[in-house]
Amino acid sequence: MSCAKRAIDRDMLPGQEICNKVACLLYLRAMNLRINWDALGVSASVACAIHCAVLPLIATSLPVFGVDIIDNVAFEYGMIFLAFAIGSWSMWHGFKKHHHSLVPMFIFLSGIVFLLLKQVWHQYQLWFLPVAVALIIIAHVMNYRACRVHNHAHSDDCNH
């Protein structure tokens, strides 16, 4: 018997039935909620690429409003850390639960290294950034596809 049906069958106050139905629907909806970490990682990479492409276009108007985000080291490292945190979780989840291949993780880490190189040698950022973004996106796409192909393909090295 569904939770909505149980809510109707009980003796309730007039407004309580609606509240119980809403609570049941929210509970059932939350049970189906799953985060696609690869999609989130690709989105973060695309957001980073858009940030890097659009920021120079609006750079001339930022000082007028008192905003100093251009070459803001803390912001840049924050974006790199965000990409690293989301991507690492996505790669680890895919490796551990699905495909057991380290290739996407190594490609992803190579992309992060290129992002860090961009920060160290700032004068070469136009060379490092496209490579970094491409490697990160390729790693997420490879991880996503490997997870879909294997779909919990377990081997002797699984511990779950």
Could you please report the per-residue DSSP string of the chain? Answer: --HHHHHHHS---TTHHHHHHHHHHHHHHHHT----HHHHHHHHHHHHHHHHHHHHHHTTTTGGGT---TT-HHHHHHHHHHHHHHHHHHHHHHIIIII--SHHHHHHHHHHHHHHHHHHSGGGHHHHHHHHHHHHHHHHHHHHHHHHHHSS---TT---
Q: What tens-digit pLDDT sequence spans the chain (160 residues)?
A: 444 444 444 555 555 555 566 565 555 555 555 667 777 777 877 887 787 777 677 666 767 777 666 677 888 898 889 889 988 998 888 888 777 888 999 999 999 999 999 999 988 988 998 999 899 999 989 988 888 776 555 555 555 5
Question: Would the pTM of this model clear 0.85, i.e. be above it?
Answer: no
